[in-house]
Amino acid sequence: MSGMHAQEPLSAPAPASGIPWRLVLTVWALIEMLMLSIWWRSIPGMQVRDTDDALRLVQVRDLLGGQGWFDLHQYRIMAPEGILMHWSRLVDLPLAALIVALRPLVGTHAAELATMVIIPALTLLGTLAVLMSVSYRLFGRDTAVTAGILVGLCAPILSQMQPLRIDHHGWQILAALGAMAALHARTSRLGAWVVGLCLAVELTISLEGLPVAVLFMGALALRGLRSGRWTDLARATQALALGLVVLFLATRAIGDLAEHCDQVSPMHMAALVWIALCCGVLARLNTAKLARPWLPALAILTLAALGGAAITLVAAPQCAGGAFGGMDPFVRREWLDNVAESQPLWHYPLITMAGVISSIPVGLWGCWWLIRTSQGEERWRWLEHGLVLVGAVALGTVMARAMGAAAALAILPASALVYRWRQIAVRQSSTWARLGITLLTILTIYPTITALAASAAWNRLAAKDGAKKDGKDEDDTCGYIEGLAPLNAMPVTDIFEPIDIGPQILLRTRQRVVATGHHRGVAAIGDVMHAFLARPDQAQAYVRKHHATLVVICTTMPEMKRYQKEAPQGLAAALLAGKPPVWLRPLPQPGADKTHIAIWQVRPN
């Protein structure tokens, strides 16, 4: 189905004027209307599906409420000292700016709601603009439309750009796509600078983008080995180092120069400056006259890589274990190992796995096909793209949340291949042949359909229809709006709670919480988990340690059910059974039939 001669065009050549933006806006509007039709019920109540989105809005509120631009503490977590967040103001900036612009027109609450819809929609528009414009330039109008359709079918992309999704993952995808587009730029000089700047933005947003940056630099190193010209790699590394320093000063300044493993720190900038200097030296060397020009190049690249690694490890040896190096094994086992998005892909059910993979297999296939059928410089461009794509897929396989970038990078070659399949289908004289090829194309680009059918058949054969795993049948049933409302009538205090509802309490009330699911507060996370697993008389010490006067839980949440299962005699089990210890006094809750939130007051000693 993928056979095609190199001289056979995919579609009409793209005009020099570039893609008609009405085309991009039309595709974007259709996808956004579909997204809004699915999520519109969640918007009025600000029912975010991820705790990071809730805490992101809390961070923006603090900024607009007068907290300093460079002060990234969350003072309502683990009071009074709070926790220093590793998140970047770069993501807060558009959120805060739009809220400020809309607030005089519609009020604060409506401005926040509108912002939580508009910002994800704009990241989706940016994603479509990059992918469709590059596809239009390389292959033509029809393939660009195909790329837009594939974005609309791509769950890993849409899940990060759906309404109310205001955390940083959508911006990371967009930054990676900007680097990808620059890799295919007509002018390699400009493209190299843009690659570096886009990667600087991605790393500033989250250090999780470091492996992706390595992949892009690896692609440019391959370009240098092939051509003997190292200027593109030098420009990209210099843009990355310079961009990172500028963005660090703009978002962090010099108030926090500690060496953090989970955010860009002085050691990372020093390492990248070293690498940029080495690549600059390499670009100035005339290796073309040597019998083996690749030998000194490899030597300098090796020196650059080893030097960068040495700078990082000497400055912060604790970071050898990654962003979570040195974490308490108990907390890692009870919390981090249960965070689904951080798990390898093979830990997911078949249906979920198919949704995460999306059109990535078609993208890999399309990239290989383009390498085989292209010629000259274009073939090498697709080889570079393939190197980045394969690496991104490998990253996403070991940590599922990284698959969004891989899926986005796969769209461009996938759109070329899918349009080719469409051409083949149209040329068939048999109606059944056309339908067959079309059906196979749909099943290939949207594997969730196949996975749903296979899962349903398996469940029927195994007599497992309707079976549910413990703790997985509850999604958004806590009823936070009604359940947390009474807290706003109470004096501000510290609340002892399961970590997964902490951000909701911060979002919807004025109260403080002991812990949330964010690793900078690992000590408090450990205390919360120890308390809910401990016998009620022993748990009291953990609660009083954090001067909490209230205990708040959601009785249907998976976290509580996990504690109950692991410790049937523990505090969580007692609270879920309606048998609180004597040191807790239940508080009456109006509208208790609409919520699964339960509140107890801690009795004085």
166-184 pLDDT, tens digit each: 999 999 999 999 999 999 9
What integer pLDDT is reported at residue 454 of this predicted model? 52
Confidence of residue 276 (pLDDT cuts 50, 70, 90): very high
Determine how many CB atoms are found less than 10 A away from the CB of residue 561.
19
Residues 6 or more apart whose CB falls under 8 angstroms from that of 104 comprise: none
DSSP conformational letter for 152: H
What integer pLDDT is reported at residue 53 of this predicted model? 95
Per mean pLDDT, which range of 35-39, 227-231, 496-500, 538-542 is the poorest?
227-231
Question: In the structure encoding, which two tokens stand for residue 225, read together?
Answer: 């080995």
Please report which helix (H) or strand (E) contains residue 494, including its range.
Answer: strand 494-496
Burial 248-257 (b: 16+ CB within 10 A, else e): beebbeeeee
Question: In the structure encoding, which two tokens stand for residue 119, read together?
Answer: 């910002």
- Whether pLDDT at 460 is above 60: no
User: Pick the residue with more confidence: 444 or 570?
Assistant: 570
List, for residues 530-550, the tens digit of each pLDDT value: 999 999 999 999 999 999 999
What integer pLDDT is reported at residue 438 of this predicted model? 67
SS3 for 572-597 is HHHHHCCCCCCCEEECCCCCHHHCCE
Do residues 301 and 282 touch, judged by C-beta distance below 8 A?
Answer: yes
State the amino acid at position 412 in one-letter form.
L
Do residues 157 and 438 touch, judged by C-beta distance below 8 A?
Answer: no
- Whether pLDDT at 2 is above 50: no
Half-sphere exposure of 241 (CA within 13 A, CB side): 21
Per mean pLDDT, which range of 164-168, 255-259, 304-308 is the poorest?
255-259
User: Pick the residue with more confidence: 361 or 348?
Assistant: 361
What's the topology of domain 480-602?
Rossmann fold (3.40.50)
What integer pLDDT is reported at residue 206 of this predicted model? 92
Q: What is the mean pLDDT of residues 574-593?
A: 88
The per-residue pLDDT of the chain, averaged, comes to 87
Confidence of residue 3 (pLDDT cuts 50, 70, 90): very low
Per mean pLDDT, which range of 30-39, 318-327, 493-502, 592-601 is the poorest?
318-327
pLDDT more than 70, % of the chain: 89
Question: In the structure encoding, which two tokens stand for residue 510, read together?
Answer: 């004025």
**Sequence spans of domains, the chain:** 21-41+86-417, 480-602
- Whether pLDDT at 58 is above 50: yes
Q: What is the mean pLDDT of residues 50-62?
A: 95
Q: Which is it for strands 83-84 and 73-74: parallel, antiparallel or unpaired? A: antiparallel
What integer pLDDT is reported at residue 196 of this predicted model? 97
Do residues 308 and 273 touch, judged by C-beta distance below 8 A?
Answer: no
What integer pLDDT is reported at residue 15 of this predicted model? 57
Confidence of residue 337 (pLDDT cuts 50, 70, 90): confident
Maximum mean pLDDT: which of 1-15, 43-57, 105-119: 105-119
Q: What is the mean pLDDT of residues 189-208?
A: 94
- Whether pLDDT at 458 is above 60: no
Do residues 72 and 89 touch, judged by C-beta distance below 8 A?
Answer: yes
Per mean pLDDT, which range of 190-199, 429-438, 441-450 is the poorest?
441-450
Q: What is the mean pLDDT of residues 230-244?
A: 96
Enter the pTM of the model: 0.90
User: Pick the residue with more confidence: 573 or 153?
Assistant: 573
Q: What is the mean pLDDT of residues 97-116?
A: 96
What integer pLDDT is reported at residue 16 of this predicted model? 56
Burial of 536 (0-12, 13-18, 19+ CB in 10 A): buried
